[in-house]
Amino acid sequence: MGHDHAHSHSKTHTQGHGGGHGHDHGRGANARQLTWALILTSCFLVAEVVGGILTQSLALISDAAHMFTDAAGLAIALAAVKLGERPADAKRTFGYARFEILAAAFNAVLLFLVAIYILYEAYLRFTQPADVHSLPMLAIASLGLLVNFACMKILDAGKDESLNVKGAYLEVWADMLGSVGVILAAIAIWLTGWNWIDPLVAVAIGLWVLPRTWSLLRESLNILLQGVPEGIAIADVEQALRAVPGLSGLHSLHVWAMTSGQNVLSAHIEIGPDIADAMAFRQRVETLLHERFGIDHITIQLEDGSGHCVTEGPHADDGKNH
């Protein structure tokens, strides 16, 4: 067993350094994107909040509320990236990367709360319509659209690599559509004088973001609950492993994710008596898992027909020296 675990540790250690540089580079790029997006969003946030109050536009306040969650989400995401860069220690042997997922879940909950507030405020506005100043509302919403578009372009490159950046991107994207809605509402109110259009658009903005918010919350909770990562079916993994020549048994198979893009697998694999080189067998399994499922953090315990751990012979020493 000592040889078996020695090799497993070596494999994980090697992969950590081999893939860690890429993760560091990705985190650095994400941090720059998030910083610029946060600066743009924060600079415009105050103007939009003040403008929403002065124009008495709930639609503009709704857009400002989403802009606030954008700023809060970006700040949390940036903090998560910085914490994720901290190395593993004696208390957290996997490091701090999962803080990113906690931040993504918090962003989703924040968006739900904002949507509830907007729906409540819209109900009040329908019962007691406010006199909306449409032209200042139009000017502020147009500027907000430009800020949202700039933030989207900044975050676009990192949204597929990080769940946190994806969450921030979705918030800005929804807010951009909200700005379009406010612009159309301002034009309609200016032409018709129908102030009830304002709370109607505010409700539409609140409802528009809910499905995407639910998707973000579901994905982050799945990681926190150590569920099988999105895009991987455990049945497919098991079927692929059982098809490896020489494998005679498989149990205690677990697949989960530490954070977005860092999938982990552990399994007990029973090998047949015809396998002469256990190390070569293990490498075949690890190559399969990497190429077909994108799983690189792998811990495998090899066993014989009696359930005893299989050592890897004279090659085990090579594994310890990697």
What secondary structure, in 3-state letters, does 48-92 show? HHHHHHHHCCHHHHHHHHHHHHHHHHHHHHHHHHHHHCCCCCCCC
Conformation bin of residue 101: beta by default, left when phi > 0, alpha when psi is -120 to 50: alpha
pLDDT at residue 239, as a whole number: 92
Cβ neighbour number for residue 209 with a 10 Å cutoff: 24
User: How many residues make up the chain in this entry?
Assistant: 322
CB 85 within 8 A of CB 20: no
The C-alpha atoms of residue 74 and residue 31 are separated, in whole angstroms, by 10
pLDDT digits (tens, 9 = 90+) for 158-183: 666 666 677 778 777 777 877 888 89
pTM as predicted: 0.65
Task: Note whether 94 and 75 are within 8 A (CB).
Answer: no
The answer to whether the beta carbons of residues 282 and 300 sit under 8 Å apart is yes
Tell the burial category of 87 from Cβ atoms under 10 Å away from its Cβ (0-12, 13-18, 19+): exposed
Residue among 219, 194, 210 at smallest CA distance from 62 = 210
Which tokens belong to 117?
């507030």
Residue 305 Cα distances to 16, 80, 156, 271, 299, angstroms: 32, 46, 51, 7, 19
Cα dihedral 142/145/150/153 (nearest 10): -150
Pick out the chain residues at pLDDT < 50: 1-26, 313-322
Pairing of strands 262-271, 247-259: antiparallel
Residue 236's pLDDT is what? 92
Q: Is residue 279 within 8 Å of 312, Cβ to Cβ?
A: yes
